[in-house]
Amino acid sequence: MKKFFILSFLVALFFSCSVDDDTINFNLELLPIESVDIPEEFTLGEVFPITVTYQRPTTCHTFREFYYAKHNNERTVAVINTVFENNDCQDIADDMLTATFDFKVTSNGSYIFKFWQGKDENDEDIFLEIEVPVTN
């Protein structure tokens, strides 16, 4: 009898819950990096902040995270925004934002950073490349 009440309660609970169709639709979008604030040199074993500046095109764009890929001493960086699909998005003319990540120096030599700046007329990626030497 106890099992019946528990089962009845769970069934009633399941069927009494309603799921609203207020689904939040969004996309992820890479935004071009306009400029970078990066040290002229690194010290092995230390952590350095790297700040990028990018333009937010609409009120529906929000910073999500960095795209960050590494290959040997080369780092490719891009800004990823979440773009919410709202009907009330407004274009923003000059809304320059910054985002910062910490970079830990783990090897000697130089690091080459490739900051994504969009695509050219041939749909090829464009990068701002900055080489930063490492000192001991």
How would residue 44 be classed by pLDDT, with cut points 50, 70 and 90? very high
- Range picked from 5-9, 18-22, 48-52 for highest mean pLDDT: 48-52
pLDDT tens, residue by residue, 50-74: 999 999 998 888 899 999 999 999 9
Of 74, 66, 30, 29, the residue nearest 50 (C-alpha): 66
The predicted pLDDT at position 23 comes to 65
The predicted pLDDT at position 19 comes to 46
102 C-beta neighbours (distance < 10 Å), count = 8
The pLDDT of residue 16 is above 90: no
Structural domains for the chain: 21-135 (2.60.40)
CA distance 98 to 62: 12
Report the helix count and the strand count for the chain, using DSSP H and E. 1, 9
DSSP 33-44: EEEEE--SSEET
Please check whether residue 60 is in contact with residue 84, taking contact to mean a CB–CB distance below 8 angstroms. yes
Of 83, 92, 29, the residue nearest 55 (C-alpha): 92
The mean pLDDT of the chain is 85
The pLDDT of residue 22 is above 70: no
pLDDT tens, residue by residue, 106-122: 999 999 999 999 999 99
